[in-house]
Amino acid sequence: MMTYSDIKNSFLRNVGADASTNTAILTEFNANLKNRYSMVLARMKDYMTQKTVTTTTVAAQQYYHYPQGVRNIESVVVTIGTVRYPTTVVNAQWMWDWLNAIQVQPTAIPQFIFPRRDDFGIYPIPQNAYTMTFNYHYRDRALTVDDYSTGTAEVTNGSTTVTLTTGVTAASMAGRFFEITDTSNTGQGYMYRISAVPSGATLTLENGYEGATGSTLTYRIGEVPEFPEEGHIILVDGCTADFYSGPRHDITTATWFNNKFWTGDGQNGSRKMGEATVTGGLIGLHNQYTDRNSERIIDRNKGIYPFLDQNWGMGITS
């Protein structure tokens, strides 16, 4: 995996500005990284960019705002008591209007979700406060934070708790990745996503640490792009191409790096997604994962027949 710092430092080496503190260069890099990252996520069709969030419905309220960064809703489950009821996503305005024109709701339990630009609707309208869990694809935020590696860390084999001996954690570190960089530890080099930051000196990892128990170990915490790690290097190529086509006005070098971004080969100018002969760059990455993603739903086009589908009941007890 490459962190934001890895990508930035590789870019600086490409443009001959190692460890540069030139504000103009870094500003240009951050702007280009944001654009290239968004492009990759769009081309990868949301691979591994699915989140789950739980919220609560409000009695008699039909529309709800999306969480920050949502791209599209994948599935929604309503939990009433101990029973989980899956819903169907409606993607047609006419069907949504038809459902809401029904005078008598066929069931008291929410069955359909209608995504709109700024919010989404639920039908039938919730009668009470129900737990609602939905999976959604999101737009990852821009990468802007340098690696944090102050002090040392203490880890325990099998434990999800990491204690920093002299460093200070922050709530914003949740979602980033933790890595032991001390080569004396058998877990060195493996990255673990941080799920929570319970205090100013501890981190909680999503998975138990698989290396050896140890203390006073060097480490780093960094932001990592949310797409397959073998493709992270293309962000360096893309940002380098943008820099040479912009501030440097060197179209020849810009074209070479842009070709690398798309195909992995500076001399291959193909831009056709699905090009079978391309194995590198964004096109090659797309080809490798075109049929693989993190979706959990198989039936994505279920027909909507509210009076023919089995209804759960007219009244419910939570």
Q: Is the distance from CB of 97 to CB of 79 less than 8 angstroms?
A: no
26 in a structural domain: yes
1: buried, middle or exposed (CB in 10 Å: 19+, 13-18, 0-12)? Answer: middle
At 298 the pLDDT is 35
Residues 138-166, mean pLDDT to the nearest whole number: 90
Same domain, 102 and 168: no
> Structurally, how many domains does the chain consist of?
3
Same domain, 17 and 35: yes
Q: Is the distance from CB of 177 to CB of 232 less than 8 angstroms?
A: no
At 30 the pLDDT is 95
Same domain, 127 and 153: no
At 69 the pLDDT is 67
Same domain, 207 and 166: yes
Same domain, 35 and 84: no
Same domain, 257 and 239: yes
pTM: 0.75
Residues 268-278, mean pLDDT to the nearest whole number: 92
Residues 146-156 have pLDDT tens digits of 999 999 999 99
162 in a structural domain: yes
The string of DSSP letters for the chain reads ---HHHHHHHHHHHTT-TT---HHHHHHHHHHHHHHHHHHHHHTTTTT-EEEEEEE--TT--EEEPPTTEEEEEEEEEEETTEEEE-EE---HHHHHHHHH-SS-S-SS--EEEE-SSEEEEESPPSS--EEEEEEEEPPPPP-PPPB--S-EEE-TT--EEEESS----GGGTTSEEEE--TTSTTTT-EEEEEEEEETTEEEESS---S--EEEE-EEEE---SS-GGGTHHHHHHHHHHHHHTTT--HHHHHHHHHHHHHS-TT-----TT-TT--SHHHHHHHHHTT------S--S----TTTSPP--S----
314 in a structural domain: no
Helix axes 233-245, 23-43, angle to 10 degrees: 130
Q: Is the distance from CB of 55 to CB of 66 less than 8 angstroms?
A: no
Q: For the domain that residue 186 is a member of, what is the CATH number? A: 2.40.30
% of the chain beyond a pLDDT of 90? 51
Same domain, 28 and 54: no
Domain-terminating residue out of 200, 222, 244: 222
105 in a structural domain: yes
Q: How many CA atoms lie within 13 A of 90 on its CB side?
A: 23
Same domain, 44 and 58: no
Residues 297-303, mean pLDDT to the nearest whole number: 42
Same domain, 61 and 122: yes
Q: How far apart are CA 177 and CA 154, in angstroms?
A: 16
299 in a structural domain: no
Residue type, 163: T
* R_g of the chain, CA atoms, integer Å: 24
Residues 173-192 have pLDDT tens digits of 999 999 999 999 999 999 99
Same domain, 268 and 210: no
Domain-terminating residue out of 79, 104, 138: 138
Closest CA to 37 of 193, 176, 232: 232
Above 60 in pLDDT, residue 305?
Answer: no
Same domain, 41 and 76: no
Average pLDDT, whole number, for the chain?
A: 86
Residues 24-83 have pLDDT tens digits of 999 999 999 999 998 898 887 656 566 777 888 888 899 988 777 677 777 788 888 888
310 in a structural domain: no
At 49 the pLDDT is 60
Range of lowest pLDDT (66-70, 167-171, 220-224, 257-261): 66-70
Q: Hey, what are 61's tokens?
A: 């309220």
315 in a structural domain: no
Domain-terminating residue out of 222, 238, 271: 222
Same domain, 71 and 112: yes
Q: Is the distance from CB of 243 to CB of 177 less than 8 angstroms?
A: no
231 in a structural domain: yes
Q: Is the distance from CB of 69 to CB of 58 less than 8 angstroms?
A: no
Domain span including residue 173: 146-222
